[in-house]
Structures are given as structure tokens and as C-alpha cells.
Amino acid sequence: MFRPTGLTAFLTLGLLAKHAVAAPTSTSRSDASISWGGCESFGVNSTDPNLQCGYLEVPMDYHDSSAGNARLAVIKYAATAKKLGTIFFNPGGPGGSGLEAIKTLGPSFSQDLQGAFDVVSWDPRGVGHTLYVLAVVSQWD
């Protein structure tokens, strides 16, 4: 059973609270999926078999499906023990790469979490392998 103790529990909870991300509750995306694979094509050079990368298609605007989709580059440091869930890590910013953060910090996160969670992050728009999206709005529209 997963039981962090002492300082590790305090630091982990503090880290999670600082970087917690809430998903929109008004829109359901049951068709969203990630095809996980190697990270070499994402520029993440590592021999760690627990690192996996992929793309997640997300709406440009959850309230306007005609706006199209964007592709977020995502990375996962897979659980190394019985999986209890998934933790999403916000790389911060501006300009913070989630792929680079998990490449570097994934093993430490996994150890602190006793290997019981997948740790997932992403490159925000315009960072790394997530394309920058520029919306031009005319002042005459």
C-alpha cells in the first residue's frame, strides 16, 4: 500500500497542490486518447524504459468545435509498481517544457511516490513539440 511518510509526504502534497490542474467540467471528451511510444522523435534522448511520449488532440475552443484542434506533446513516466492513478505535472512557465521536466524529474517523482503513479506532463503551446497557435482577430470584425 502506498504510504508516504514525514517530509516526503509534505513535499509531495505541496508539489501537487502547487501544480494541480483542473479539467473543464462542462465538456466531456470520451474520444480523447494518446498513442504512447518512444520519445526519440520528441527530442527526449533517454534509455529509461519508463518514459513514453505521444500527442493528445484537444479542442482549440471547448465551446466552439468549429475552431478545430491542437496537438499537445505529452510525456509519461510510467508507474513502476501497482498503479494507483495518474498525476499531472504542470511544467510552469512561461516556456517550461513538461517533456524536459519529466525526463529529468520523472525518476525522482516515481521514487517519492513509491512508483504507484504515472506522472504525466506536456509541452504548452509554443514550447518544444507543441505547435504555437496564433489567432489573428481583425479589429474590423
The pLDDT of 101-109, averaged and rounded, is: 94
Average pLDDT over residues 12-32: 47
Chain centroid to CA 57: 13
Give residue 12's pLDDT band: very low, low, confident or very high (50, 70, 90): very low
Task: Kindly state the cell numbers that stand for 43.
Answer: 527530442
The residue-averaged pLDDT of 114-133 equals 84
Assess whether pLDDT exceeds 50 at residue 130. yes
Mean predicted lDDT score pLDDT of the chain: 77
> Average pLDDT of 44-51?
89
**Long-range pairs for 97-100 at CB < 8 Å and ≥24 separation?**
97/123, 97/127, 97/128, 98/74, 98/122, 98/123, 98/124, 99/39, 99/42, 99/43, 99/44, 99/53, 99/73, 99/75, 99/123, 99/128, 99/129, 100/44, 100/128
pLDDT of residue 109: 94
What letter would DSSP give residue 62? T
Instruction: Please compute the mean of the pLDDT values over residues 6-28 and round it to a whole number.
Output: 44
Q: Which residue has the higher pLDDT, 55 or 136?
A: 55
Q: What are the residue boundaries of the structural domains of the chain, listed by start?
A: 6-122
Highest mean pLDDT among 21-30, 40-49, 123-132: 40-49
pLDDT in tens, 26-42: 444 445 689 999 999 88
Alpha carbon of 17 to those of 10, 52, 69, 75, 100: distances in Å? 11, 25, 29, 20, 21
